[in-house]
Amino acid sequence: MPAPAVEIDGLVMRYGDKVAVDRLSLTVDRGSITAVLGPNGAGKTTTLETAEGYRAPHAGSVRVLGLDPVRDRRSLLPRIGVMLQGGGAWSGVRADEMLRHVARLHRHPLDLDALSERLGLGDCGRTPYRRLSGGQQQRLGLAMAIVGRPEIVFVDEPTAGMDPAARRTTWELLEDLRGAGVTVVLTTHYMDEAERLADRIHIIDHGRMIASGSPLELTRGGSSATIRLVVTKPFPPDAPASLRSALGDRVDVTLLDERSIVVTGPADASSLAVVSRWCEQNGVLPESLTLGQRTLEDVFLELTGRELAS
């Protein structure tokens, strides 16, 4: 049986005294899309960079295609593709020239015209890198990552700064890569991106793995729905407790900030009615009151007490 695409075991990374990655373990199966999800500063990029061979682990081990990314760097590099979070090109280089250069470093590069067309880079081929929009730079970065026909691509925040159309193009390409047998590892702090693309999601926060599973496994969880209540004036201090006693103890009530509360649990239309009556009795005016299915956002909230996007 071939080695897993990526195998990280007990990884620890520090910057000075600060622990960026704390005993993280995860396995990535070949031919899958895996999302590493977490807020900014969670340690996603650092983790990725150990797999790309940029940093040696301070403790623990990292294997990519069964190889040590630092020691076996030379034999591993041609087999992986890397999309950095930003930059990676000379400021005066033209987009097509940069892509052609990276292609020349590989033995069997993709057809450049087809690749540029696929990523919508055909129109900006002659444009110097510094004049490309953020989204175009991202797409060029993705093109550079896959032009060498790698077995694994590591993409760091692939759709940050992209418009919706470019995001869709990027997602479709990542799905096609998986279809062709390429392993895709991506970091993101977009829930919808992870939910749409990933076969497996690892949620990390403060350098620690806090949950792992398929999108379905993660969102199924214990509870099934959420109610979000946003009000016009700050809640009275005992609001969470009094709301919980009104709803019964099968639900969790989390105070997000002084004007919003999230209720997770077996919530339904009658719970909505209870919340609405509670507002009336406590002289609270709702700005919005919504019932929704449990999302990754809610999972993250339950695990950390914070919102991911903030």
Phi/psi of residue 145, nearest 5 degrees: -70, -30
CB 306 within 8 A of CB 260: no
Candidates 185, 231, 252; CA nearest to 28 is 185
Beta carbon of residue 182, minimum distance to another protein (angstroms, whole number): 6
Classified as helix, coil or strand, 204 is strand
64 Cβ partners below 8 Å, 6+ apart? 5, 6, 7, 51, 53, 76, 80, 152
Angle at 108 between CA 105 and CA 113, to 5 degrees: 90
Residue numbers 143-162 binding another protein by CB under 8 A: 144, 146, 148-151
Strand ordering across the sheet containing 6-15: 18-28, 6-15, 59-64
**180: contact with another protein by CB under 8 A:** yes
Instruction: By CB under 8 A, tell whether 115 contacts another protein.
Output: yes
Q: Tell me how far the alpha carbon of residue 242 is from its chain's centroid.
A: 36
Nearer to another protein, 184 or 227 (CB): 184
114 touching another protein, by CB under 8 A: yes
Q: Looking at 94-102, 163-171, 204-212, 217-225, which segment touches another protein (CB under 8 A)?
A: 94-102
Nearest to another protein of 128, 221 (CB atom): 128
Residue closer to another protein (CB basis): 84 or 296: 84
CA distances for 162 relative to 5, 135, 267, angstroms: 28, 5, 35
- Three-state DSSP class for 265? strand
Q: Is residue 58 a contact point for another protein (CB under 8 A)?
A: no
70 part of the interface to another protein, by CB under 8 A: no
If one asks whether residue 54 binds another protein (CB under 8 A), the answer comes out as: yes
Position 269 contacts another protein (CB under 8 A) = no
Tokens coding 151: 């077995």
Rule CB under 8 A: say whether 92 interacts with another protein.
yes
Q: Which is nearer to another protein, 92 or 292 (CB)?
A: 92
Binding of residue 93 to another protein (CB under 8 A): yes
Tokens of 128: 């110097």
134 binds another protein (CB under 8 A): no
**Sole window of 39-47, 177-185, 251-259, 294-302 interacting with another protein (rule: CB under 8 A):** 177-185
How many beta carbons lie within 10 A of that of residue 300, not counting itself?
24
Is 120 strand, coil or helix? coil
Residue 66 CB contacts under 8 Å (≥ 6 apart), including other chains: 2, 3
289 lies in the site for another protein, by CB under 8 A: no
Q: Which of 16, 17, 108, 232 binds another protein (CB under 8 A)?
A: 108
# chain residues binding another protein, by CB under 8 A: 45
Closer to another protein by Cβ: residue 87 or 283: 87
**Per CB under 8 A, which region of 19-27, 70-78, 185-193, 215-223 contacts another protein?**
70-78
280 interacts with another protein by CB under 8 A: no
Q: How many CB atoms lie within 10 A of CB 195?
A: 18
Residue from the set 37, 177, 198, 253 that interacts with another protein by CB under 8 A: 177
Dist. CA 109–CA 103, nearest whole Å: 5
Using CB under 8 A, which of the segments 107-115, 233-241, 255-263, 290-298 binds another protein? Answer: 107-115
Strands 252-257 and 152-156: unpaired
Contact positions vs another protein (CB under 8 A): 52-54, 74, 77-80, 82, 84, 86-93, 97, 101-102, 104-108, 110-111, 113-115, 117-118, 144, 146, 148-151, 176-177, 179-182
